[in-house]
Amino acid sequence: MKAMIGLETHVQLRTATKLFCGCTTVSREPNDNVCPICMGYPGSKPALNRKAVELGTQIALALNCRVAPEMWFSRKSYFYPDLPKGFQITQYEVPLASGGLAEPVLCGKKAGIRIRRVHVEEDPAKLEHEGDIMTAARSLVDYSRSGIPLCEIVTEPDFESPAQAREYLEWLLSLLAYLEVIDPRAEGVMRSDANISLDGGERVEIKNITGTLMVEQALKSELNRQIGFANLGKKVARETRLFDGATGRTVTLRKKEEEEDYGYIFEPDLPIVGMDAIAEGVGKAMREMPEVALARVERLGVPRGLAHAVVYTPGMLAYFDECSGGYGKPDELARWLANDFLKCMHWNGLEVRDSPKPELIVELLGMIDSGEINERAAKDVIKEMFAKGKGAREVMGARAAGKGESEGEVISGVIRDNGKAVSDFKAGNARALQFLIGEVMKKSKARIDPKRAREMLVKQLNAGPG
C-alpha cells in the first residue's frame, strides 16, 4: 500500500504591520491590537502591505517557483467565528508563484518535492476553546491575530511517508529562518494542513497541525486508520479531520468542502499587482542559499556542526563574515559564536543584531590570542559584554579598577603572602611554582593568563633577595 501525502504550510511573515492595515503584528493581550479593517467593519478598506509581498516573493524564489507577471486577491467566503467579515482575503485564481521544486535530503536521500503554489493571505482570528474543540462549552476569540500576513506553501502529494513530511517541514523552517522572512521564535509561526490518501483512494485533510513532530504523529495515525479500513474492505470518506495529541488519533471535524463551496470572487478593494519589478528587485537583493553558504564556511576550516550553527542562526552568517574581516581564525571565531556568544544572546533575550558589535568580539578573541586574558576569564567577560554593552577591554578595566590592583601588584601580593611556597621554589621544588600560579589565578579571579602569571612570578622570584 502506497501513501500519497501533500502539505499546505502556513508561515507567519516577519513584518512590522498586518497585511491590510497599520496595526502592529505584536500583541501582548487578547484583542489589544485591532482596528476597523482587521475587524472587518462595514466600509473599512484594506491597503496592501508591500513588505509582505516582497517576503512572499523571496520564499517563492528560494523554492525555485515561477513568479506570476501579475497577481490579485480574492474573497474566500465561509462563516466561522474567527472570520468577522464573513470572508478571508486570499489568492485563488492566480497565486503569487507556482511550479517550484524543493530538493532537500529526506530520510537519507535527496528528494524532489514539487511546489504547486505559493501565495499570500491574511490570518483569521485565534479561537481559544475551553477544553476540547469538539466538546468545549464555549470558545473565546482573540482578534489580534486577524490580518497577520501569512504565506501558504502548497506541495504536490510527493511525500511517501510521515517521516519525509516531518523532515521537509524541518528543512523548510530552517530555510525560512535563514532567509529571515519569519521569526522562528514567534508563537504559531508555522501551521500545516496535511492531505493523505492510500493507493489513490479518497483524500483526507488533517487541519491545523502545529509542530513538525505533531505532523508526523498525525499522519502516522491517519495512515494506520486508512490501512485498517482497506484491510476491512471499507472505503475512506473524503473529509476534514483534526489530530488529538492527547489520544494520538485523528477525529472527524466536517465533511470536506469542494473549492466551489467557498464562493471565490475577485477582491474589488485591492488592485491587481504587477510582479515583474518586485521579483527582479527581490532576486537581486537575495543572499546566497544556505547550502552554498554552508559549503563556503566549511571551506574556511570550520567543522560542519559549527558551520551549521553559524549559517542557520538568523543574522549570524553576516555577523561571522564581518568578524572574519578583522580576525584570521575562522574556526575559533565560529566556536565562540556557536557556543558562548549564542548562550549569552539567549540568556539576555537578544537577537544577533542587538548583540555586541563585531569589532568587540574580534577584540576579545585578539586578547585571548595575545595572552592578555585566558579563555576561562574570557567566558566571564563575554557575559558582561552582553549584560552591560561594553567591550572586553572596558570590562577588564572596570574589573581592575574595582580590585584596585594591577597585575604586578597581584603577583607581589601572592609572593608576600606565601613565604613557604617561595622558599620551596627557591629550593628547587617545581610544584611550588604551580601552587603560586594557582594563587595568582585565585586572587585575580582568572583575569591573568596562567602563562603570563608563570612568567611574572619567575621574573619577580629570581629578581628578589635570595
* Residues 254 and 372 reside in one and the same domain: no
- Do residues 423 and 443 both lie within one domain? yes
Residue 195's DSSP bridge partners are 6, 205
Dmax (CA) for the chain in angstroms is 100
Q: What is the pLDDT of residue 438?
A: 86
Domain end point (choices 383, 403, 423): 403
In degrees and rounded to multiples of 5, residue 268 shows phi and psi of -75, -15
- State which residues of the chain have pLDDT below 50: 401-402, 404, 466
Of residues 72, 4, 70, the one with CA closest to residue 269: 72
Write out the H or E segment, with its range, that includes residue 63.
none
Statement to judge: residues 55 and 190 lie in one domain: yes
Judgement on whether residues 228 and 274 belong to the same structural domain of the protein: yes
Q: Please check whether residues 347 and 455 belong to one and the same domain.
A: no
pLDDT of residue 400: 59
* Sign of the Cα pseudo-torsion (319, 325, 331, 335, in order): negative
- Give the position of cell 590570542: 369
> Are residues 425 and 305 part of one domain?
no
**Contact, 238 vs 66, CB < 8 A?**
no
Write the CA distances from 109 to 48, 103, 164, 168, 219, integer angstroms. Answer: 41, 10, 10, 12, 21
| CATH code of the domain covering residue 457 | 1.10.10.410
pLDDT at position 466 is 44
- Same domain, residue pair 454 and 395: no
What pLDDT is stored for residue 91 in this prediction?
A: 96
Q: What is the pLDDT of residue 258?
A: 67
Within this chain, do residues 200 and 136 fall inside the same structural domain, yes or no? Answer: yes
- Whether residue 145 is found in the same domain as residue 36: yes
Q: Which residues are CB-contacts of 215 (< 8 A; sequence separation ≥ 6)?
A: 7, 162, 165, 166, 169, 192, 194, 209
Measured in residues, the chain has a length of 466
Of 223, 258, 279, the residue at which a domain comes to its end is: 279
pLDDT value at residue 257? 63
How far is 57 from 279, CA to CA, in rounded Å?
A: 6
Same domain for 53 and 168:
yes
pLDDT of amino acid 398: 67
Same domain, 78 and 180: yes
Residues 377 and 229 reside in one and the same domain: no
Pick from 251, 279, 307: which residue ends a domain?
279
pTM, entire model: 0.81
Q: 292 is in which domain, residue-wise?
A: 287-403
Give the tens place of pLDDT for each residue, 102-128: 999 999 999 999 999 999 999 999 988
Q: Give me the helices (H) in 152-211, please.
A: 162-179
Q: How many domains does the chain have?
A: 3
Determine the Cα–Cα distance for residues 449 and 377; give it in Å rounded to an integer. 8
pLDDT in tens, 137-191: 888 999 999 999 999 999 999 999 999 999 999 999 999 999 999 998 888 899 9
Q: What angle do CA 6, 272, 267 make, to 5 degrees?
A: 70
